[in-house]
Amino acid sequence: MLIGIHFAGFALAGLLFPYLALFVQNLGVDDPRAVILWAGLLAGVGSAGLAAGTPLWAWLGRRLGLRAMLVRVLVGLAVTALLMAVVTEVWQLLLVRILQGVLGTAGTVVVAMVAGALAHEQRARVLGWLQLAMMAGSVVGPVVGGLVLYWTGFAVLFRLTAGVALAVAVLALLTMPRVDPAPEPEITAEPPAGSAAGDPGALGMAIYFLALQAAAMMSGALLVLYVQDLGAGDAAAPLTGLLIGSTGLLAGLAAPLAGRFRTKLGSAGGMGVTGALAGLLLLAQGLATALGAVWVLRLGQGVATGILRPSAQSGVFRLVEPGRRRRAYGFVAWASTLGSIAGGLLGGVIGAAGGVGMAFSVAGGVLVLGTAAPVALVRLRGGRNRPGG
């Protein structure tokens, strides 16, 4: 059941987020630079709202249980989708996006439920299935969202999102037991403190994830506009969905390589190489003049990212001393959230000033430079990776 909810959560997010820039145009914003700026702002404030709401929901989760938090996320998504269907001004959409962010995402709650409900020996297997569900949802959601938008328009897309979210919420309420959070979660999104910020491995991984999330948000919020500018016209939504879906599919197929060559790819050098490759492919997308070229480059980026993310997730474990890992996980989570906020805002500003292609190229440069951080800092520390513990 949790695996199905995890799939639905990522699919529902994919139904809406990639196409908010087109909705800005529907709300009467005609200036192309203003559309880009609003698209980036909508992405950034959603992440900022998520960061602001996390402490409150963590506190309530310890008192009400994680099932209540999961239902809250799904009902919140349904309500905000219906609110989007009735907004008439772009500033109203901005307020709804902030509310949507504050209400949180289902993915973090599901992972917390696994940590709180399952024995240690069961978690690895279930978390593997959750990773597969996340990949599948991230592929299916944008494809379905793009097709629904192309055939029926935003009104039906918003109602579909709300209906599916409510159905999953009712199913979770009826079938899921109350689950309390694990007493000592492994990852917390708290600001950096103490030894984590001073540890070269933790600092390198924090910069790494900050760059990774910033690049993803800078390009992801503007992708549909880039597809539109490259000649897709009214078919921008379904083509964007197919572009995201095919890239995500290749990322999922490439992910097992990270496990097969864990020692090499999970090292600072391995993460630097795969991150630099993904960044260069993203940078090249910003220079492309044909949709087909962007598609080929993005498929290559999907393969690199599919290898990169699993390796990066094990990076803290491999590059940070055992006694500092818990604090380092919190430091990295904080940096990742900061990257999501900054990425959306910077993408909007850079795209409005120099065009969407420039935003893609800058995002690629950020990824190349940011993913070099673990290599530089580990070598500064002494030139070796720490043992895996």
Instruction: Give the start-to-end residue ranges of the domains of the chain.
Output: 1-177, 193-389
pLDDT in the model for residue 188? 43
Contact 150/239 with Cβ under 8 angstroms? no
Domain 1-177 matches domain 193-389 at the CATH topology level: yes
- What's the CATH code, domain 193-389? 1.20.1250.20
Q: Where are the alpha helices (DSSP H) in the chain?
A: 2-16, 20-26, 32-64, 66-84, 90-102, 106-117, 120-152, 154-175, 195-198, 200-220, 223-227, 236-260, 262-265, 268-287, 291-313, 315-319, 325-354, 356-371, 373-381
Query: Tens digit of pLDDT per residue, the chain (389 long)?
Result: 777 887 888 888 889 999 999 999 999 998 999 999 999 999 999 999 888 888 888 888 888 888 888 888 999 999 999 999 999 999 999 999 999 999 888 777 777 776 666 666 666 667 667 777 888 888 999 999 999 999 999 999 999 999 999 999 998 888 877 777 665 444 444 444 444 556 677 787 888 889 989 999 999 999 999 999 998 988 999 999 999 999 988 888 877 765 555 555 556 667 777 888 889 999 999 999 999 999 999 999 888 887 777 666 666 666 666 667 777 777 888 888 999 999 999 999 999 999 999 999 999 999 999 888 776 776 665 544 444 43
Q: Tell which residue, 380, 378, 350, has the closest CA to residue 364.
A: 350
pLDDT in the model for residue 384? 47
Give the Å distances, CA to CA, from 214 to 120, 272, 279, 338, 362: 33, 16, 12, 8, 10
Topology of the domain comprising 1-177: Growth Hormone; Chain: A; (1.20.1250)
pLDDT in the model for residue 388? 41
Contact 125/106 with Cβ under 8 angstroms? no
pLDDT in the model for residue 127? 65
Cα gap 122→112, rounded to integer Å: 14
pLDDT in the model for residue 263? 52
Phi, psi of 38, rounded to the nearest 5 degrees: -65, -40
pLDDT in the model for residue 307? 76
- Residue 369 has which token pair? 């430079």
pLDDT in the model for residue 37? 96
pLDDT in the model for residue 257? 65
